[in-house]
Amino acid sequence: MGMTMTQKILAAHAGLDKVTAGQLIEADLDLVLGNDVTAPVAIHEMEKMKIKKVFHKDKIALVPDHFTPNKDIKSAEHCKCVREFAQDQDITNYFEIGEMGIEHALLPEKGLVVAGDVVIGADSHTCTYGALGAFSTGVGSTDMAAGMATGKAWFKVPSALKFVLTGKPAKWVSGKDVILHIIGMIGVDGALYKSMEFVGDGIKNLSMDDRFAMANMAIEAGAKNGIFPVDDLAIQYIKDHSNKEYKIYEADEDAEYDEVYEIDLSSLKPTVAFPHLPENTRTIDEVGDVKIDQVVIGSCTNGRIDDLRVAAKILEGRKVAKGLRVIIFPATQKIYLQAMEEGLLATFIKAGAVVSTPTCGPCLGGHMGILAAGEKAVATTNRNFVGRMGHVDSEVYLASPAVAAASAVTGKISGPQELGL
């Protein structure tokens, strides 16, 4: 049998002609990523290993984004640890406050990941870069330490699921709705340690921001990674953002897949994941009357410019429901500036929302929007586990920017159609 796209990338980086599912390999790394939560642990592990220098100062990215701007003394100490390590090691891609962004939006924007790369990151949503045709996956901090020291990592080659996408999404249906539909269909362990490989003519109807959102949430289905073919849109994105050489890998025609799913994008509706798992999905017409206390628009899933444009289009000329808190997080400084220049921030503020500097913030229950007991939030984030955004008795409903913005106006979970849009 032939190899999948993921397997071809791993084989090339392991110096092998062929790999098969379940095989253990050691692969060369193109990039190693850490943030202010995970990198300090990796740094301390490197110290225990008595490693004096990283394998390549240009192939490590350190992004303090989770508890930044520093929310307390402990987070300040973590960031100081990362900052001093970056200075000591002369790390090229260390991004301080003012030039940083949420890591999984920032790295593609900075051109640090291109098609054909193998990337590990000490953050589970490192799988985002599969949108560019790269193999990228999350690892623990000790694996990050080993990667920084050696430039290599070991993997068990994953088997694959194939998702054949056809058709064109309806108005207000985005990549977030597609991936929530898929997770609702296969479950949070439906792709456990497998590669989710997206193919089909429908991909041409998905923007890069749609694809980033879908690859980002592959981990919510338990996947090792998610990956898209490298088409003209992806190539243009790479050329616009990076000077790195890229390589396109394509699955063999006789590649083996554990399952093949066919999804007509035109049949999908805006979708919401109810507490407390991303698989608890309902289409917008099945939601019922769910009053909310907070709306969060942003994160590494949905804080990109397309996401903010959709939210602004819905909030334009409208007001946030009385008593509701709406917090908007542009994912990077560049996106923040672009949103400002396009007038999106003015729209948000006039509507009654607040706009934050780029940060992961409330997504992981960090800061900038923590929920109290009994509170409910609609969020464009990626996880809604018990206590994820605050108190264990709070609830998070995952949705697209369109649903989040409409809900901000009505004060309950709503689709744009309820506003006559």
User: What one-character-per-residue DSSP string does 252-297 give?
Assistant: -TTB--SEEEEEEGGG---EEEPTT-TT-EEEGGG----B-SEEEE
The three-class DSSP label of residue 152 is strand
- State the pLDDT at residue 366: 84
For residue 151, give both structure tokens. 């430039």
Residue 363 is labelled as binding a ligand: yes
Q: Are 288 and 190 in contact (CB under 8 A)?
A: no
pLDDT value of residue 107: 97
Q: Which CATH number fits domain 271-419: 3.30.499.10, 2.40.10.10, 3.20.20.140, 3.40.50.2300?
A: 3.30.499.10
Q: Is 127 annotated as contributing to ligand binding?
A: no
Same fold, 5-263 and 271-419: yes
Q: What is the DSSP letter of 390?
A: B
Does the domain at 5-263 match CATH 3.30.499.10? Answer given as: yes
Domain range summary for the chain, segments of one domain joined by +: 5-263, 271-419
- For residues 198 and 206, the answer to whether their CB atoms sit within 8 Å is no
Q: List the alpha helices (DSSP H) in 242-362.
A: 299-302, 305-315, 333-341, 344-351
Query: 18 burial class (0-12, 13-18, 19+ CB within 10 angstroms)?
Result: exposed
Omega cis (within 30) before 69: yes
The response to whether 360 counts as a known ligand-binding position is yes
pLDDT of residue 365: 83
What's residue 119's pLDDT?
98
CA angle 220–65–182, rounded 5-degree value: 15
β-strand pairing of 294-297 with 259-264: unpaired
pLDDT along the chain (421 residues), means of 10: 96 97 98 96 94 95 92 93 96 92 96 98 96 97 96 97 97 97 96 97 97 97 97 97 96 96 97 96 95 96 97 97 96 96 97 94 86 96 89 95 97 93 87
The residues, any chain, with a CB within 8 Å of residue 141's CB and separated by 6 or more, are: 34, 38, 39, 41, 42, 45, 122
Judge contact between 332 and 359, C-beta under 8 A.
Answer: no
* pLDDT recorded at residue 341: 97
